[in-house]
Amino acid sequence: MKRVIMKFGGTSVGSGEHIRHVADLINNHLGKGYQMVVVVSALKGVTDALIEASEEARSGNRDHVHKLLQKTTEKHVAATENAIKNKSIRKEVEQTLETTLDELEKVFTGIIYLGELTPKSKDYVLSFGERMSTLIVWGTLRDLGLSVQYFTGKDAGIVTDSNFGEARPMMKVTAHQIKQKIEPLLEKRIIPVVTGYIGATQDGEITTLGRGGSDYTATIIAAALEADEVWVWTDVDGLMTSDPKIVPSAKVIPELSFQEAIEMAIFGAKAMHPRALEPAMEKEIPVRIRNTFNLQNPGTLIVMEQKIKPKDVVKGITLIKNLALVNVSGAGMVGTPGTAAKIFDILGKNNINVLMISQSASEANISFILQREVLERAVSTLEIALLASGLIHEVTAEDDVCVVAVVGAGMKGTPGVAARMFGAVARRGVNMRMIAQGSSELNISFVVKETDGEKAVLAIHEEFKL
């Protein structure tokens, strides 16, 4: 018997019809003998609306909050109506929705009065999206006559640290609790339906796992139950060789390793929560990305083994925009140990994240890439901290760059990959500003002017015939 954790993203449950479709899909797999845990994201756009509403509440914009709440209510009521046919089940779901929304309204009232939105209260607000969507999916599965049980992430046993907004699971306790609460149901052929994205601290305070965190919920549960696979149902056919908006001939990657997928996800493919692959990888549980609306397509399978075929050295290319390049230089840096540490320590302490780093062997300059929106703050912080000391001479910046990241395990130990890549880019007349390759050799990243980014991606896609 195959045990699969199935996670449905926001677009997969975007409307009542879609939820109905998802429920049929689950029902079919039950018929095929699958043991399943279903993990559900908030309906499309709801998390964003809740974030907006909580910020409006903090600013005291009662009317705006009210409007957003109204819209959210309508969305869920309409979805319920279209998804659930049985009147009494529908009524039950509607009533629970109503109490849930009343509670949410009270929370907003609290925020409006206090004029304060703490990370803790924000997470509490955000948990409502998944609480409501999962309720509707639960009702729809019951409508089809299936045995189901509703769980919030907290009730399912997901215990996290108290880093609200980006909480991390405490895997030992979590795994133990999930096993205790969920596993007996599977044996009785009951389908647990769990809210994605949500956990709770040891004191029972609601936390969220970070944006896109429902993927993480699915892999956490999979690891705890030693599932055979995790299926992430979404609205695309899988991970692509590149963004089809840039490269119309981009294709689905049928299979890749966890290592490669992590490189792709981190470098902006944004197909998954960045840490979601960790629990699956640890337990060697394959993760499949599938299209809810194209069941014929097998999707992308992410596995442990690094299968390297001589022909596909490069698997995927991603483009990351809205970045800036900073160059720190000075003769004082040459042969002075600790310079790099100082620079990155200052940035770290100021909560400025660095995406890419390179230093020439002359040691006379260090370049790095960060988000464009933090550029000014980064430059002034470095100038204040380092110029006076004489250690550095100058901080310069360019605010119109992007990163092209090329990923593939086959690049490792294959000579000439970089040469082909850079040759292809150069032939298009694109100038590279900075290059970095990690020693894992899974990823080569380079920086070009933002206006040249798409050209560079196309050039490489063509060169490696992806």
Residues lying near ligand ASP in the complex (CB under 6 A) are found at 10, 41-42, 47, 129, 196-197, 211-215
Is the Cβ of residue 108 or residue 233 nearer to Mg ion in the bound state? 233
Cβ at position 178, least distance to ligand ASP in Å? 18
Locate 327 and state its tokens. 């160059």
Q: How far is CA 315 from CA 235, 308, 348, 374, in A?
A: 21, 10, 32, 31
Cβ at position 235, least distance to ligand ASP in Å? 12
State the binding string over 137-176 for Mg ion (x if CB under 5 A, else -): ----------------------------------------
Cβ at position 41, least distance to ligand ASP in Å? 4
State the binding string over 4-23 for Mg ion (x if CB under 5 A, else -): ------x-------------
Is residue 208 involved in binding Mg ion (CB under 5 A)? no
Among 41, 54, 80, 127, binds Mg ion (CB under 5 A): 41
What SS3 class is residue 19?
helix
Is the Cβ of residue 211 or residue 455 nearer to ligand ASP in the bound state? 211
**Number of C-beta neighbours around residue 51 at 10 A:** 15
Segment (H or E) for 434:
strand 434-437
Is the Cβ of residue 72 or residue 259 nearer to Mg ion in the bound state? 72
Cβ at position 13, least distance to Mg ion in Å? 10
Chain residue at closest Cβ approach to ligand ASP: 214
- Exposure of 143 by Cβ count < 10 A (0-12 exposed, 13-18 middle, 19+ buried)? middle
Cβ at position 287, least distance to ligand ASP in Å? 14
Cβ at position 215, least distance to ligand ASP in Å? 6
Distance CA 270, CA 55 (A): 25
List the single partner that 213 binds among Mg ion, ligand ASP, none, CB under 5 to 8 Å by kind: ligand ASP
Could you tell me the sign of the dihedral formed by the alpha carbons of 267, 39, 203, 280, in that order?
negative
Is the Cβ of residue 49 or residue 354 nearer to ligand ASP in the bound state? 49
430: left (phi over 0), alpha (psi -120 to 50) or beta: beta
Q: Which residues bind Mg ion (CB under 5 A)?
A: 10, 41
